[in-house]
Amino acid sequence: MDTYESIATKLDIREFSSKSVPTEVKRKVLEAARLTQSGRNLQHWRFILVQRKENLKRLADDSISGKWVARADFAVIVLTNPKYPFHLLDAGRVTQDMELAAWNYGVGSGIYTGFDRRALGRDFGISEELNPSVIIGFGYPMRRIVGKKSRKSLAELAFLEKYGEKLEF
C-alpha cells in the first residue's frame, strides 16, 4: 500500500474478526518496530508480544481504557526507558510504524494508554525501570472500514512561515 494511502485510510480498530493473523505478519510488525529510528539510536525500547487468549484477557483485566484488547488477535506492549526525556516520542514513532506495517497487510489496530501499572508489571514481568508507554491491539477488522476521519482542516493546523499566517496551496 502506498504510504500516504495507508496513513489516510488507517482508523483505530477496536472490534476484530476471529480470523488469525499469520505469524509472518506478526514478525513484520515487530521488524518494523526494530527498524524504527530512536533518539540517539538508543533503541531503549522493548516489546512484549501477547497472543495467548488468556493473556489477552489478562491485558484487558489490567486495563482502564482498553478492555477491547481481549478480542484482539494479538497485542504488543511497548516499553520505553523513562530516563530519556524523549522516550515517549520514541514510543509514539515505533507505535505508528507497527500500526502502518500491519495495515499494509489489512491488519487493523488500536492503541490504549490507560492501565494499572502494578498489575501489568506483575502479570507480564515488567521491571520498574521500564515504562509501559502504550499497548497496541491488532487483528483483522470485524467489518469493512468505511469510516471517515474526524480531523481538523489543514487551514486550522498549518501556517506559512509564521504562526497564524494563512497557508494556501
Apex 78 CA angle, 132 and 76, nearest 5 = 120
150 is a contact residue toward ligand FMN (CB under 6 A)? yes
CA dihedral for 50, 51, 57, 58, sign (positive or negative): negative
Residue in the structure block whose three cell numbers are 497487510: 105
Closest to ligand FMN by CB, 127 or 150: 150
**What is the rounded CA–CA span in Å between residue 100 and residue 105?**
9
Closest to ligand FMN by CB, 12 or 61: 12
127 is a contact residue toward ligand FMN (CB under 6 A)? no
Apex 37 CA angle, 118 and 85, nearest 5 = 50
**What is the rounded CA–CA span in Å between residue 44 and residue 2?**
30
Could you tell me if 142 and 15 are in contact, meaning their C-beta atoms sit under 8 angstroms apart?
A: yes
**What is the rounded CA–CA span in Å between residue 91 and residue 128?**
17
Site for ligand FMN (CB under 6 A): how many residues?
Answer: 11
Residue 168: CB minimum distance to ligand FMN, A: 26
Q: Which of 12, 61, 100, 121 binds ligand FMN (CB under 6 A)?
A: 12
Q: Which of 29, 111, 126, 130 binds ligand FMN (CB under 6 A)?
A: 111
23 is a contact residue toward ligand FMN (CB under 6 A)? no
Residues 30 to 89 in contact with ligand FMN, rule: CB under 6 A: 65-66
Candidate segments 26-34, 36-44, 77-85, 105-113, binder of ligand FMN by CB under 6 A: 105-113
Could you tell me if 128 and 81 are in contact, meaning their C-beta atoms sit under 8 angstroms apart?
A: no
Closest to ligand FMN by CB, 89 or 160: 89
Cell, residue 1: 500500500
114 is a contact residue toward ligand FMN (CB under 6 A)? yes
149 is a contact residue toward ligand FMN (CB under 6 A)? yes
Residue 5: CB minimum distance to ligand FMN, A: 15
**What is the rounded CA–CA span in Å between residue 7 and residue 100?**
7
Binding residues for ligand FMN, per CB under 6 A?
A: 11-12, 65-66, 110-114, 149-150
